[in-house]
Amino acid sequence: MYAQMVKSTGHAVRALEDMEPQERAFQERINAGEKIEPKDWMPEGYRKTLVRQISQHAHSEIVGQLPEGNWITRAPTLERKAILLAKVQDEAGHGLYLYCAAETLGVSRDELYEQLHSGKAKYSSIFNYPTLNWADIGAVGWLVDGAAIMNQVPLQRTSFGPYSRAMIRICKEESFHQRQGYDIMMKMAFGSEAQKRMAQDALNRFWWPSLMMFGPSDKDSIHSAQSMAWKIKLNTNDELRQKFVDQTVPQAEYLGLTIPDENVKWNEERGHYDYTDPDWNEFFEVIKGNGPCNKERMDARVKAWEDGAWFREGLMAHAEKANTAEAAE
Amino acid sequence: MSDDTLNKALFEFLCRMGDNTLVLGHRVSEWCGHAPVLEEDIALANMSLDLIGQTQLWLGLAGELEGAGRSADDLAYLRDAFDFRNLLLVELPNGDFGKTLMRQFLFDGFQSLILTELTRSSNERVKEIALKVKKEVTYHLERSSDLVVRLGDGNEESHRRMQQALNELWPYVGEMFIDEPEDKLLSEAAIAPLPSSLKARWETLMRPYFAQAKLNVPDEGYAHKGGKHGTHSEHLGFILAEMQFLQRAYPGSTW
Ligand SMILES: [Fe+2]
Ligand SMILES: [Fe+2]
């Protein structure tokens, strides 16, 4: 998912009877499945946690343009190029909806950018991995958009109205992306030997980072417990990861590709596939900034922002002039 | 004039149209994820998407007309630089965002005029494509002219950059209006206009924007040329090396 390890208040969830009346009424609305809107009263912790989560998601969409954008100029056909362009455009659009959702909570897009550029805010670990061959574009759609959907489909029911509505729009497009990604994988996996090799190589590299997208097990996390009580998180990380593995394994089998984990096998008793947990040390290193592309990704975003300062300022100056001229009339 | 000669001329012309949109679409797409604001990331991806879509139409028709079994993809991915027919203007490196916008504006003006003419083409297929893409290009021109005006008449720095962009790109404008032998044939057959016939209209169209943008239009000066018959700048080879990599490295594959 695009939001990982979002910190909440850091306190245990309080029982309804321990809450002040206002907070209790708020929690009861959530329990009843009502949507919270920006003008409604909300606990400060709810607001802050949501800003963290939504902005992390927004940043992920924006940074996510880079690994895929990496192949636009090299896409192998005009149609593939057009599909990829449309996808990257969608991702930027997702970023835009999400920044708007965050803005309803009283934080501007510029402030959020500032947090991203300074390294204070995080984005999904997955986008710190490189796209090295064309099948990676297929694998990203299939696995990365696939994992994102696992998390975002339940979030359509999240308690915060603007976030929920953004998710509804986004989910439609993400499932489109996933199908297109899988379509590339089919062409590659059923193609020439060289293409098959690319497809397997892509799966080998993206399998583990995709599992990491869900974040480490959080069944004992107080942050997750609070977020779940507030319905800004609806499933545990392990639940979603299992769902993802269950969905993906048969798809890989259909492609004739091997999941790079020899422990993947159907467990009749559990009714799920068993699998090996990813290397969480690697995950924490990536989060800390030591992934293969952290520096490139951040440098690219900061450069885009700084190089574009004159453009933004020029437009502002023009708008001011136009306003002054209008006022003078 | 034989049908064959006219067909060859039309093939050349369609390659010019398709190669312009292909190469410009490639350049514009290089901005993906690197634009100055998120809205521009979206707008440029959209622009590039339109241009690639137009490429499919122009080169698709070119391949069909040629009758040698080449698809739009074959033409895009399997020709070498000397067979490309795009203007030098569109293959120039992006430069800063202002230069990219200025190039787009200069091109959009030309493209919107030529398309207007092509919507009256005596060739039904050409006319059909022109009618289909005219709206997109009208929108591109609206967008690029608006930004050029706002930045030209923004602050000192944005004005300076836009003026510099115009000065640097100006020597590549003249090539748009050069008549090649094929153009004369096509114009006689009422298939496509003579590029030179668009020049005065282009000036009439563009000058008010330049004035609003407070930009000085350079004197006519020297015009670089060669793109329309395959003599390109050094840049095109690198564009093609990148664009054609997969098709060249793994020939005959399905993607
Ligand atoms: Fe997305
Ligand atoms: Fe997506």
- What's the rounded Cα separation, in Å, for the pair A226 and A218? 12
Interface of A with B in 137-176 (CB under 8 A): none
pLDDT score at A269: 97
Report pLDDT for A326. Answer: 85
Q: For residue A295, is pLDDT > 70?
A: yes
Nearest CA to A4 among A42, A70, A53?
Answer: A53
pLDDT at residue A263 is higher than 80: yes
Residues in chain B: 255
Which tens digit of pLDDT belongs to each residue from A116-158? 999 999 999 999 999 999 999 999 999 999 999 999 999 999 9
User: Looking at residue A143, what DSSP letter applies?
Assistant: I
DSSP-derived 3-state class of residue A273? strand
Domain count, chain B: 1
Residue with tokens 């000192």: B156
How far apart CA B40 and CA B44 sit, in angstroms, is 6
| CA-to-CA separations, B5 to A212, B12, B123, B189, in angstroms, rounded | 62, 11, 15, 12
Query: What tokens appear for B48 in the block?
Result: 């590039």
> What pLDDT, on a 0 to 100 scale, did the predictor assign at position B1?
59
Tell me what the pLDDT averaged over chain A comes to.
95
Range of the domain at B123: 3-249
- The minimal CB distance from A191 to the residues B49, B77, B253 is found for B253
The rounded Å distance from CA A211 to ligand 2 centre is 17
Structure tokens at A35: 């949507």
Instruction: Output the pLDDT for position A106.
Output: 96
Rounded to an integer, what is the distance from CA B48 to the centroid of its chain?
11
Of B32, B154, B246, the CB nearest to A314: B154
Grade residue A220 by pLDDT with cuts at 50, 70 and 90.
Answer: confident
Q: Is residue B233 part of a domain?
A: yes
CA distance A142 to A210: 10
Low-confidence ranges of chain B (pLDDT < 70): 1
* Cα B161 from Cα A310, distance rounded (Å): 9
Q: How far is the CA of A272 from the centre of ligand 1 (A)?
A: 28
Question: Does any domain span residue B206?
Answer: yes
Looking at residue A176, what is its pLDDT? 95
The C-alpha of B199 sits at a distance from chain A's nearest C-alpha, in angstroms, of: 30
Two tokens at B188? 């006689």
Instruction: Give the containing element (helix H, strand E) for A265.
Output: strand A265-267
The answer to whether residues A74 and A84 touch, using CB atoms and an 8 Å cutoff, is: no
The predicted model gives A246-274 an average pLDDT of: 98
Question: pTM for the whole thing?
Answer: 0.96
A78/B42 CB distance under 8 A: no
Q: Who's near A93: CB < 8 A, 6+ residues apart?
A: A173, B42
Q: Is residue B254 part of a domain?
A: no
Contact B45 A89 (CB under 8 A): yes
B76 in contact with A, Cβ within 8 Å? yes
Q: Where are the beta strands (DSSP E) in chain B?
A: none
pLDDT at A157: 95
Residue B116 lies in a domain: yes
A53-105 pLDDT, tens digit per residue, is 999 999 999 999 999 999 999 999 999 999 999 999 999 999 999 999 999 99
Helix residue spans in A213-308 (DSSP H): 222-229, 237-255, 280-285, 294-307
pLDDT digits (tens, 9 = 90+) for B167-211: 999 999 999 999 999 999 999 999 999 999 999 999 999 999 999
3-class DSSP state of B201: helix
Q: What is the pLDDT of residue A1?
A: 57
**Main-chain dihedrals φ then ψ at residue A68, nearest 5 degrees:** -85, -40
CATH number, domain containing residue B188: 1.20.1260.10
Minimal Cβ distance to A76: which of B33, B49, B247: B247
- A272 DSSP assignment: E
Helix (H, G, I), strand (E, B) or coil at A160: strand
* Cα distances (Å, whole numbers) of residue B98 to B171, B209, B244: 17, 15, 28
Evaluate whether residue B255 is within a structural domain: no
**What's the alpha-carbon Rg for chain A, to the nearest Å?**
21
Torsion of CA A62, A63, A65, A69, to 10 degrees: 150
Is there a contact between A313 and B158 if contact means CB atoms under 8 Å apart? yes
What is the pLDDT, as a whole number, of residue B255?
Answer: 98
Q: A311: which chain B residues are within 8 Å (Cβ-Cβ)?
A: 36-37, 40, 97-98, 151, 158
Indicate if the pLDDT at residue A327 is higher than 90. Answer: no
Q: Does residue B92 lie within any of the structural domains?
A: yes
